């Protein structure tokens, strides 16, 4: 594919979007390392799932549209796919963490909303 020379302002936009995604991704991993409990650790990756992927997607849309002198919107599929799949993974992981933590009587987890209807052999202690 022949590469045209792009105007400077388009390159500046693409570079700023790429650097923003780099900063967001580093923040996501740094938060994943720094946070103490799992429930806190679930939050920083959202920076990468939403912020970084949107920035990179817009950068490639702008770059390829300027390169081919027409709108190139197929990269938009990445955003659509991620915005469908990421909440499913997050909710499943949160349910798994709650389930496993409650079986281990983890005190940092929030209590259940409703007590179990038939009280089990020992009542729940919190």
Partner 1 sequence: MSPLLSNAITITLVAYGLAMLLALWRMLRGPAAQDRVLALDLIYIIGMLIALVIGLRYTSSMYFEAALLIALFGFVSSAAMAKFLLRGEVIE
Interaction site with partner 1 (CB under 8 A): 1, 3, 5-6, 8, 11-12, 14-15, 18-19, 21-23, 25-26, 28-30, 32-33, 38, 41-42, 45, 48-49, 52-53, 56-57, 59-60, 63-64, 67, 72, 74-75, 77-78, 81-82, 85-86, 88-89, 92-93, 95-97, 99-100
Residue with tokens 């209590």: 111
CB of 40 to partner 1, least distance (A): 11
Instruction: For partner 1, give the closer residue by CB, 93 or 124.
Output: 93
Taking the mean position of all CA atoms in its chain, how far away is CA 79? Answer: 11
Burial class of 95 by CB neighbour count within 10 A (0 to 12, 13 to 18, 19+):
exposed
Instruction: For partner 1, give the closer residue by CB, 103 or 126.
Output: 103
CB of 10 to partner 1, least distance (A): 9
Alpha helices in 1-126 (DSSP H): 8-34, 38-41, 45-46, 53-68, 76-103
Residues 6+ apart with CB under 8 A from 57: 75, 76, 78, 79
CB of 119 to partner 1, least distance (A): 24
CB atoms within 10 A of CB 56: 21
Length of the chain: 126
CB of 41 to partner 1, least distance (A): 6
Instruction: For partner 1, give the closer residue by CB, 70 or 119.
Output: 70
């Amino acid at each position: 594919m022949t590469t045209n020379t792009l105007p400077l302002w388009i390159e500046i936009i693409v570079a700023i979007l790429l650097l923003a995604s780099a900063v967001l991704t580093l923040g996501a991993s740094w938060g994943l390392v720094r946070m103490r409990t799992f429930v806190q650790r679930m939050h920083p990756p959202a920076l990468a799932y939403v912020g970084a992927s949107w920035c990179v997607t817009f950068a490639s849309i702008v770059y390829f549209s300027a390169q081919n002198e027409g709108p190139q919107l197929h990269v938009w599929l990445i955003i659509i796919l991620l915005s469908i799949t990421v909440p499913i993974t997050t909710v499943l992981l949160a349910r798994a963490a709650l389930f496993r933590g409650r079986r281990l009587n983890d005190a940092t987890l929030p209590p259940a909303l409703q007590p179990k209807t038939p009280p089990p052999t020992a009542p729940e202690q919190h």
